[in-house]
């Protein structure tokens, strides 16, 4: 049985510990950043660093290198550079939101994972165990890959936050617009962004866009205008 140890008690670490245990991996007791980390890689096949990005290099530096063990982190933006002291190193970035350990463990099954183009192949076994899919990322591509992830997840949430503010200002609940959003996501999945786009920008209806801007509070206009410009980039 392949052994894995995780450094970091947060949502990502807890999610992976639960998911890998269910998938048949031997998950060793988790460690925190304040524990003695010197021998963390000595009795395991895979050591996963599940700390905030800014702590990865520091934590990796505290771990004594091992010729046998793979040392990997979960960041989508850092690449292999923080792990340079370790002969076997990899990146295992879950391309999925992990709100808590239980829901995160469920979402990891079948999820996409970002793996370093030249990382150790052991992490591909993790993905296979979770029935996931792989995006291979070159070392120079991590910042753009992670930017795409932030746009797809965090920025989408921020846009729905704006939808909620504007909707509630006229007495409509966010719930009334979520099926609309789900339908649009389904259309993007089926058709791609360009074919999925509908609405006034797609129709060239500048008068409606102008009415929207006139009706919106001043502090809501910049985001609307920015997304209208982005919508225009999808138009034939």
Query: What averages of pLDDT result for each successive group of 10 residues across the chain (236 residues)?
Result: 95 96 96 94 96 96 96 96 97 94 96 97 97 97 97 96 98 96 97 97 97 98 98 94
Place of tokens 């771990």: 63
pLDDT of amino acid 236: 83
Q: What is the pLDDT of residue 33?
A: 84
118 plus 161 within the same structural domain: no
> Residue 49's CB: how many other CB atoms inside 10 A?
28
Give the residue from 223, 233, 222, 231 showing the smallest Cα distance to 201: 231
**131 and 171: one domain?**
no
Q: State the CATH number of the domain containing residue 185.
A: 1.10.1040.20
**Cα atoms in the Cβ-side hemisphere of radius 13 Å centred on 50:** 23
For residues 189 and 121, state if they share a domain. Answer: no
C-alpha 83/C-alpha 122 separation (Å) is 15
Q: Among residues 112, 137, 162, which one ends one of the domains?
A: 137
20 close to 126: Cβ distance less than 8 angstroms: yes
User: What confidence score (pLDDT) does residue 60 get?
Assistant: 97
**Closest by CA position to 212, among listed 121, 223, 40, 82:** 223
Say what the pLDDT of residue 178 is.
97
Task: Answer for the pair 73, 94: CB distance below 8 angstroms, yes or no.
Answer: no
Residue ranges making up the domain that contains 165: 145-233
Three-state SS at 70: strand
**CA distance linking residue 7 with residue 15, whole number of Å:** 12
Q: Are residues 87 and 122 in the same domain?
A: yes
- Identify the pLDDT of residue 1: 82
The total number of structural domains in the chain stands at: 2
Same domain as 111, residue 10 = yes
CA dihedral 201→228→178→77, nearest 10 degrees, is: 140
């Amino acid at each position: 049985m392949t052994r894995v140890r995780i450094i970091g008690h947060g949502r990502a670490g807890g999610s992976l510990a639960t998911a890998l245990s269910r998938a048949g991996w031997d998950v060793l007791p988790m460690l925190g950043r304040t524990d003695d980390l010197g021998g963390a890689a000595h009795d395991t096949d895979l050591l996963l660093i599940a700390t905030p990005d800014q702590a990865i290099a520091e934590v990796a530096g505290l771990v004594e290198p091992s010729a046998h063990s793979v040392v990997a982190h979960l960041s989508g933006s850092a690449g292999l550079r923080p792990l340079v002291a370790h002969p076997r190193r990899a990146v295992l970035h879950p391309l999925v939101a992990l709100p808590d350990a239980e829901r995160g463990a469920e979402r990891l099954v079948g999820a996409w994972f970002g793996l370093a183009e030249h990382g150790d192949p052991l992490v591909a076994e993790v993905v296979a165990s979770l029935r996931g899919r792989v995006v291979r990322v070159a070392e120079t591509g991590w910042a753009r890959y992670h930017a795409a992830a932030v746009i797809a997840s965090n920025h989408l949430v921020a846009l729905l936050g704006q939808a909620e503010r504007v909707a509630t200002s006229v007495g409509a609940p966010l719930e009334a617009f979520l099926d609309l959003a789900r339908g649009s996501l389904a259309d993007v999945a089926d058709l791609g962004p360009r074919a999925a786009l509908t609405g006034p920008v797609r129709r060239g209806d500048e008068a409606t866009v102008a009415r929207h801007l006139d009706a919106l509070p001043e502090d809501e206009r910049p985001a609307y205008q920015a997304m209208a410009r982005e919508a225009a980039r999808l138009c034939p």
